[in-house]
Structure 1
Amino acid sequence: MSVPGWARALRRLGLVAGGTALALGVVELAVRWVGSAQGTDLVFMAPMGYPRDIYVQDGAMTYPNPAFTGTIQSFGYSVKPTFNAWGTRGPAPQTGVRTWISVGDSFTIALQVKDDETFSARIGQAEGAQVLNAGVDGYSTWKEALRAVQLGRAFPPEVVIANFFTGNDFFDNRQGATHTIEHPGLGPGEPGAPRFKVPVIGIAPPPPGWFAGMRDHSVLVAHWWAWKESRRARSGNDPNARRFRDELGLFTAEGQAKAAADTQMTEKALLFFADAAREVGARGVVAVMPPAFAMDVDTAKRTFESVGFDGATPDLDSAQNAAIAAAKAANLLVCDMMPVLRAATAAGERPYLPFDGHLSVTGHQIVADALRTCIAAGS
């Protein structure tokens, strides 16, 4: 009995689809074995779209939303963070117990790992203290100082740690302070604090569900996405490209001459943070955190090329040294995270996430251990 033409066509279509799926599967496994596209974390933009209700805002200050119940997902992680009424990550803070406060930007709030896996939580577990994780994406040192005072008046700390990320904090500190140390504004949880509204703060909307699922689970699709975004950055049509190059300039020999103004503003911001630590009677500590591309020259060059910054001469220690000098001038205890993170990278421990560029679970533990050692030695 002859097979109908439509059946033969359907069979051929099935064979083609099956062969294509098998080929893609083989390529996916091969790419996973080779590893991630080093140096593309600037253009990967992970996570691509935060849920819009993750932060609430009062004027210039932004805080985590206590009512947030969503999931933060990108390639390599899927996390359900929790926030309390005081706008810190994890359980609500308690009075009358040993307390440290940890302020910073996305490296502190660390939405890529679970509540109890952040370096702040790891320090608290080891020290037998509550460490209030008051990180907020995009925070400057100025805002971190104000946040430390808001929380420190309610929960007097022994130590206040400011995480200074050399990848963009010089840039973020250009804006200056919005309040004074004496009058830092009312944060979440404080009596008389305003009712905070869910803001639109420039966070890109999430991509279509089907695409997000592919990009967040497939190394092959993640590579393609990084390549596409790199092409856009290099074309001159990406509004983020200029900022990327401004930030990267601090890590080049050519960019040092242009960095004087940013360095001066950071010096002022760190003095402001030192005042905040004194205001709440705490030891002021600055953890100087390098970006993933500063681990080695080859990765730095690939990062520069990904945003069209070709030909620049990497000077990977200059930004770190500038931040350390500014913090020391403010009489703050400085904890340099570069040596331990470089050593871990050289040993193959992967302290940074693939594509994303933030700390991995391993990286948070390394930083927590290094900070505890540094603070104990500086006491």
Structure 2
Amino acid sequence: MARRRRALRLAAWAGWLALVYLGVKAGATAPDTNPEHLAGLLALGYLAAWGPFFVFSPHGAAGTLGRFALGTTAVLATFAAMEAPARLGLLDYREVFATPTPSWQRRGNAPDADLIYVREPNQRARLRYVGGDLYGLRGARPWKHYDRELATDSHGFRNPIDMDSADVAVVGDSFVEGLHVEAADLMTARLADLMGRSVANLGRNGYGPQQEIGVLKRYAMPMKPAVCVWSFFEGNDLHDLHEYDDHRKNLPRILDTRRSQSPYARSFARNSLAFVLRELIRPAPTKPADAHLGMFTDREGREVPFHFNSGIQFDVAVPKFPRGNSDEMKRVAAILAEARDVCRANGVELVVAFVPAKLRIYRDLCRFAPDSPCPDWPTDDLPDDMRRVVEGLGPDVGYVDLTPALRAAAESGEIVYLPDDPHWAEAGHRVAAEALAPELSRRFAQNIRAEPR
């Protein structure tokens, strides 16, 4: 009889806990569940899980409540210990759990009404990550783990020293800021060495054409450079036009830092639960890595796996291909015309540099699996389309298409783009500098300010 009661009790326990699990799971997998909802579900599930213990406990009311209080106190104490570093400002769990965070909310950055975000001045930080082309690829292996120092000047740019003046100012996005290589290997540092002139790096990750014209006005012109280089990346600069428009519509929320800087935003509970939702309960769809992998033979005969998962792709491109006569290109032309006028008014030479996507450089040099979609991704004549835009700005505006130089280096077996990321490798920065230097030197030869600073 006792054995039967024990079996019934265990069956009731198991059935109840199964119901609690299914209830929590149903709520957690709902499309609109967020970390706060999941926290509530887990709290209710925890309380519900104690139900059979209260019903079948042989310890009496006091003993049962005491054990419940002791167990709950232990759980709460554990969470309190995990939360303490965030509460004290010692740790940001957004970084621990790689929580997707807008640029203006990340540590070391601050929101800005015109540029959406800026980097804080005079900071030193170590950045650790894997290549961006691995995102969403199932079974992809990193080519390397990137560990780089970000050191900023008094304006938040990646320059080794503060620069009140410069011979050359280079405006651009992540290709110019170059967080995947050390500062000494940047294109701007290479240009300075090649030309024996001061070169200011005014690139910033995530910036698009509207922000770059803001950088040109706010930071480049006060440096009184002889030449300003404007880099245009074909992979996302046209898309960035729309992203900036969206950010401007949301500007009051972006500038309100109270929520993003709160202890709750940094908390263990919020970010750990967001990680569980993102990675375990509702993981994003993935694609097989092998289908997005091309094998490249380098100059030493080694087989290097190149991943292609960003850049000029059919599924992220704005506008649709071909892009040369699109509304977005017309907007870029208008922004470049404004940059030309600003430079003319300040006696500065303007040179536009076209930065091609990795796909344009390496696709024909790689071997793909028969079922790979990469060989069929669209390309167009955007380098020549941009050339025509620049020619329409007037003969005083220069144009350097970096595609031929990068392509020639790749054909010789050099790794100029990172195999697991859309950005330049160290060799890419060097090749870009070598391609730009002759045009800049020619401009200096024509400019009365020929003495290096």
Q: Same fold (TM over 0.5)?
A: yes
Report SS of the residue matched to 1:73: strand
Report SS of the residue matched to 2:154: coil
**Comparing 360-369 and 327-336, the one that deviates more:** 327-336
Contact 1:100 1:130 in 2 (8 A): yes
Q: Quote the residue 2:349 is aligned against.
A: 283
1:71 aligns with 2:132: no
In 1: Cα distance, 2:384 partner to 2:174 partner: 21
Q: Quote the residue 1:103 is aligned against.
A: 171
* Superposed CA offset, 1:250-278 (max 9, x none): 6xxx8227962122112112112212322
In 1: Cα distance, 2:425 partner to 2:411 partner: 15
Give the partner amino acid of 1:132.
A
* Superposed CA offset, 1:194-223 (max 9, x none): x9979969xxx9xx99xxxxxxxxxxxxxx
Deviation at 1:125, TM superposition (A): 2.3
1:156 aligns with 2:195: no
Give the partner amino acid of 1:369.
E
Deviation at 1:319, TM superposition (A): 1.7
In 2: Cα distance, 1:105 partner to 1:322 partner: 20
Give the partner amino acid of 2:404.
P
Contact 1:89 1:134 in 2 (8 A): yes
Give the partner amino acid of 2:124.
T
Deviation at 1:300, TM superposition (A): 9.3
Counterpart among 48, 57, 65 of residue 111 in structure 2 = 57
Counterpart among 165, 178, 197 of residue 129 in structure 1 = 197
Q: Quote the residue 2:140 is aligned against.
A: none
Q: Quote the residue 2:89 is aligned against.
A: none
Quick one: percent identity of the two aligned structures? Answer: 22
Q: Quote the residue 1:88 is aligned against.
A: 157
Change (3 A) 1:296 1:57: same
In 1: Cα distance, 2:398 partner to 2:109 partner: 30
Pairwise mapping of residues 131-210 of structure 1 onto structure 2 (< 5 A)? 131-174=199-242
Deviation at 1:349, TM superposition (A): 0.6
Deviation at 1:151, TM superposition (A): 1.8
Deviation at 1:71, TM superposition (A): 1.6
Give the partner amino acid of 2:344.
R
Change (3 A) 1:296 1:354: closer
* Superposed CA offset, 1:166-211 (max 9, x none): 1111222346899xxxxxxxxxxxxxxxx9979969xxx9xx99xx
In 2: Cα distance, 1:295 partner to 1:351 partner: 9
Q: Quote the residue 1:376 is aligned against.
A: 441
1:274 aligns with 2:328: no
Give the partner amino acid of 1:230.
K
Contact 1:140 1:173 in 2 (8 A): yes
Q: Which structure's CA Rg is the greater one?
A: 2
Give the partner amino acid of 1:322.
D
* Superposed CA offset, 1:223-245 (max 9, x none): xxxx974359x9xxxxx999953
State the structure with bigger RCO (CA 8 A, min sep 6), 1 or 2: 1
**Where in structure 2 are there 5+ consecutive unaligned residues?**
1-97, 131-143, 247-254, 273-283, 292-308, 447-453
Pairwise mapping of residues 332-371 of structure 1 onto structure 2 (< 5 A)? 332-371=397-436
Contact 1:287 1:336 in 2 (8 A): yes
Give the partner amino acid of 1:326.
V
Contact 1:351 1:363 in 2 (8 A): yes
Counterpart among 195, 209, 230 of residue 287 in structure 2 = 230
Deviation at 1:57, TM superposition (A): 2.1
TM-score (norm 1): 0.63
In 1: Cα distance, 2:311 partner to 2:359 partner: 18
Give the partner amino acid of 1:137.
N
Q: Quote the residue 1:324 is aligned against.
A: 387
Give the partner amino acid of 2:198.
Q
